[in-house]
Amino acid sequence: MMQLDAEKQMRRRKRKNTIFHILFLSSTLFGIVALALLLIQILVDGLGWLNWDFLTNNASRKAEKSGIKAAIFGTLWMMSITAPLSFIIGVSTAIYLEEYAKNNWFNRFIQTNIANLAGVPSIVYGLLGLTIFVRVFGFGKSVLAGSLTMTLLILPIIIVASQEAIKAIPGSQRNASFALGANRWQTILRVVLPSALPGILTGSILSFSRAVGETAPLIVVGAVAYITTLPNSVFDKFTVMPIQIYTWANLPQEEFHNVASAGIIVLLLMLLTMNAVAIFLRNKYQKKN
């Protein structure tokens, strides 16, 4: 009798396992198929418009003359400020919180709020940037205002990623360094950071990828939707690739929708390149360690 009950229970568990396996597999396949169809549609619409003139021309009121040059340079200008600022401040903050800060209620309060800020909607950072950088500091609708806003957006993510990478380093490595006569900063510089570098770089580059693909904060800050000149300084007006693509996609002419697809292909290539660099650096430094 007990053996029959055990067999029935086993068959019931196997049925449940099969049902959930099919359910999870179907959900995964649905997402993959939807993404594949979207990519195929973008490639079909945009590849015919993707050429050298598209990369070297500025925006135009005629679809056949439109290009993404100003948006590419605007993105590069923005990231040239956002990337170093967020990396330096983020990693430095993570080092302080993990290696120097005491375990008291105030530091726990700071860490909890940093973790919460990583999940705040990006539009909130746009409103913050509009209030502080555009109006209070008087930077206007400039590259600098947009870059500082995007720095605020990705800073909590970099801090959390860097903290996790530093936290993963065994305490025995630190103790061995102290035993050899190294002080705390020497231990951090020569033992902790080299070992944590793969995780720090991966988290940082993925955060930069998010900054490249964000639209909402920059729309609030005032990035220009139509511009035919390149920025010459951090105080000039600018546009970025997502905003330019959004503008083309909202135009009624069908040709501009194809131009938007070509812009999406360029943006995807940039994001895939950044992710590939993150994977390469992670693998490279993991092998060294």
Q: Which of 74, 59, 211, 206 is nearest to 144 (CA)?
A: 74
Q: Indicate whether 1 pLDDT > 60.
A: no
Question: Which pLDDT score is estimated for 168?
Answer: 87
Integer Rg of the chain from CA:
24
H runs (alpha helix) in the chain? 2-46, 52-56, 69-95, 105-117, 122-129, 143-167, 171-179, 184-187, 193-213, 216-221, 241-250, 254-288
In this prediction, residues 178-188 reach a mean pLDDT of 86
Report domain extents, the chain. 53-288
- Distance in angstroms (rounded) separating the CA atoms of residues 228 and 270: 22
Label residue 106 by pLDDT band (50, 70, 90).
Answer: confident
Q: How confident is the model at residue 95 (pLDDT cuts 50, 70, 90)?
A: very high
* pLDDT, average across residues 212-233: 82
What is the secondary structure of 59-77 as a DSSP string?
--SSGGG---HHHHHHHHH
> Does 7 have pLDDT greater than 80?
no
What would the two tokens of residue 233 be? 């300084």
Q: Which CATH number fits domain 53-288: 1.10.520.20, 3.10.620.30, 1.10.3720.10, 2.40.37.10?
A: 1.10.3720.10
Query: 133 or 289, which is more confident?
Result: 133
User: What pLDDT sits at residue 4?
Assistant: 59
Can you give the pLDDT at residue 155?
Answer: 93
What is the pLDDT averaged over residues 107-136?
A: 88
Contacts of 71 (CB under 8 A, 6+ apart): 59, 239, 240, 241, 243, 244, 245, 263
Alpha-carbon distance of 191 to 202, in angstroms, equals 19
Whole-prediction pTM: 0.84
Token match 């990231």: residue? 79
Arithmetic mean of pLDDT, 103-110: 85
